[in-house]
């Protein structure tokens, strides 16, 4: 599988990595409903066996549970992948989530993540959200101290805009940015990606299949049967009128993929990797079967003609939805 250097680091990462958001399980504000840990572990191991060499998780995923599952998946592997995690989202005894970029809070989070992941150092430690905005400088300075102490190897940010990245860079270099990016979430194309390319900041995008919506496996019936605590229930893209449009787009991705023996999800991921400013894409998997539906994206690339075909279809769909709203 193709590997690319991540920003200013010495890490050469595969063009897709394992995302561990959903495997955190249910029972928290941004959960995906109940998950089977044994299937999650099998999915991680299957992905690594196919050559993926990095995993992205966060302390808040399942309120620590995702990191614990990742550790269990890696405990008997001699060739360990890079492990990335995040800080800044904290919770209390009532499982209520809040934001903090205070230095002492970040340090406590780092120590807790090191214990849960059972690693001596975190390969990439990322600020999950730039919130509170007024604490960005304090938080980033502490991230730099953790790097200097060897508790983390490299530091990055997630969901930052250009001005927030500039503020952080006055304190210490940014190795990478983690933003959302897919056919259905393209805001970063206007200013963020040009800036990261200019500054040589690595970009690992999340939700390239828009949380499964563009995977080719999503159906209206499946959406209706989401667990009550699945965060996607409240997302407009999983509701009408956008749901029908998005399922049609997924159908087009499936048609393009069928020409190459690829899935719709692999085409959706390849679409994000078509942008030269993107280093790699994070892909969530919860069982072995899902790995087989995405692993080909590591090497599959769209032709310019296929890319234009997708762009034209999206433009037409947006126009039709806008006309219906009027």
pLDDT at 30: 83
More confident residue, 278 or 322: 278
The pLDDT value recorded for residue 29 is 87
What is the full DSSP assignment across 286-302?
A: SSHHHHHTTGGGGT---
Is the pLDDT at 322 greater than 90? The verdict is no
Please, what is the average pLDDT of the chain?
Answer: 94
Please give the share of the chain, as a percent, with pLDDT higher than 90: 87
Q: Which of 61, 82, 125, 181 is catalytic?
A: 61
**What is the rounded CA–CA span in Å between residue 34 and residue 294?**
22
Rounded to 5 degrees, φ, ψ at 252 are -65, -45
Of residues 234 and 282, the one with the higher pLDDT is 282
Three-state DSSP state, 104: helix
Query: Which distant-in-sequence residues (6+ apart) come within 8 Å of 119 by Cβ?
Result: 71, 83
pLDDT in tens, 35-47: 999 999 999 999 9
Q: Cα torsion at 55, 56, 61, 67 (round to 10°)? A: 40
62-85: average pLDDT: 95
Residue 323 has pLDDT above 80, yes or no: no
Question: Tokens 């667990």 map to which residue?
Answer: 227
Maximum mean pLDDT: which of 129-143, 241-255, 312-326:
129-143
**Inter-residue contact 127 to 157 (CB < 8 Å):** yes
d(CA 205, CA 223): 24
Residue 28 has pLDDT above 80, yes or no: yes
How far is Cα 110 from Cα 90, in angstroms, rounded to an integer? 12
Model confidence at 325: pLDDT above 80: no
pLDDT at residue 229 above 90? no
What integer is the mean pLDDT of 134-157?
98
> Any catalytic annotation for residue 61?
yes
CA dihedral 187, 189, 192, 195 (to 10 degrees): -170
Confidence of residue 109 (pLDDT cuts 50, 70, 90): very high
Give pLDDT, residue 321: 58
- Find the mean pLDDT for residues 88-109: 96
Banded pLDDT at 310 (limits 50, 70, 90): very high
Token duo for residue 249: 């787009």
CA distance 79 to 240: 45
Mean pLDDT to the nearest integer, 8-29: 95
pLDDT of residue 281: 98
**Predicted pLDDT of residue 123:** 98
Distance between CA atoms of residues 247 and 238, nearest Å: 9
According to DSSP, the residues that pair with 54 across neighbouring strands are: 82
User: Domains (ranges, CATH) in the chain?
Assistant: 3-325 (3.20.20.100)
Determine the pLDDT at residue 320: 64
Residue range 70-83: average pLDDT? 94
Q: pLDDT-based confidence at 78, cuts 50/70/90?
A: confident
pTM of the model: 0.92
Distances (CA, A) of 239 to 42, 104, 158, 223: 32, 41, 27, 9
Cα–Cα distance, 236 to 232 (Å, whole number): 8
């Amino acid at each position: 599988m193709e590997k690319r250097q991540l920003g200013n680091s010495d890490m050469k990462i595969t063009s897709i990595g394992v995302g561990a958001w959903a495997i955190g399980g249910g029972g928290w504000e941004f959960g995906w409903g109940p998950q089977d840990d044994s299937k999650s572990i099998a999915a991680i191991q299957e992905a690594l066996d196919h050559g993926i060499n990095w995993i992205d998780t966060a302390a808040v995923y399942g309120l620590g549970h995702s990191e614990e599952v990742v550790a269990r998946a890696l405990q008997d592997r001699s060739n360990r992948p890079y492990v990335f995690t995040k800080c800044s989202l904290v919770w209390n005894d009532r499982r209520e989530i809040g934001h903090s970029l205070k230095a002492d809070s970040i340090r406590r989070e780092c120590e807790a993540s090191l214990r849960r992941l059972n690693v001596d150092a975190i390969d990439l430690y990322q600020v999950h959200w730039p919130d509170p905005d007024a604490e960005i400088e304090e938080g980033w300075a502490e991230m730099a101290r953790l790097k200097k102490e060897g508790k983390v190897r490299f530091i990055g940010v997630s969901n930052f805009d250009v001005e927030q990245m500039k503020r952080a860079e006055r304190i210490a270099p940014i190795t990478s940015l983690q933003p959302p990016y897919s056919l259905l979430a393209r805001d970063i194309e206007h200013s963020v990606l040009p800036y990261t390319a200019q500054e040589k900041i690595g970009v690992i995008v999340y939700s390239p299949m828009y949380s499964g919506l563009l995977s080719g496996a999503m159906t209206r019936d499946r959406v209706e049967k989401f667990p009550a605590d699945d965060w996607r229930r409240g997302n407009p893209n999983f509701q009408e009128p956008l749901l029908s449009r998005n399922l049609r787009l997924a159908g087009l991705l499936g048609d393009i993929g069928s020409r190459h023996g690829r899935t719709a999800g692999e085409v959706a991921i390849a679409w994000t990797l078509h942008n030269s400013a993107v280093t790699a894409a994070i892909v969530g998997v919860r069982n072995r079967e899902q790995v087989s539906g995405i692993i080909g994206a590591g090497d599959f690339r769209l032709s310019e003609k296929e890319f234009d075909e997708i762009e034209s279809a999206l433009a037409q769909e947006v126009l039709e939805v806008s006309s219906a709203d009027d």
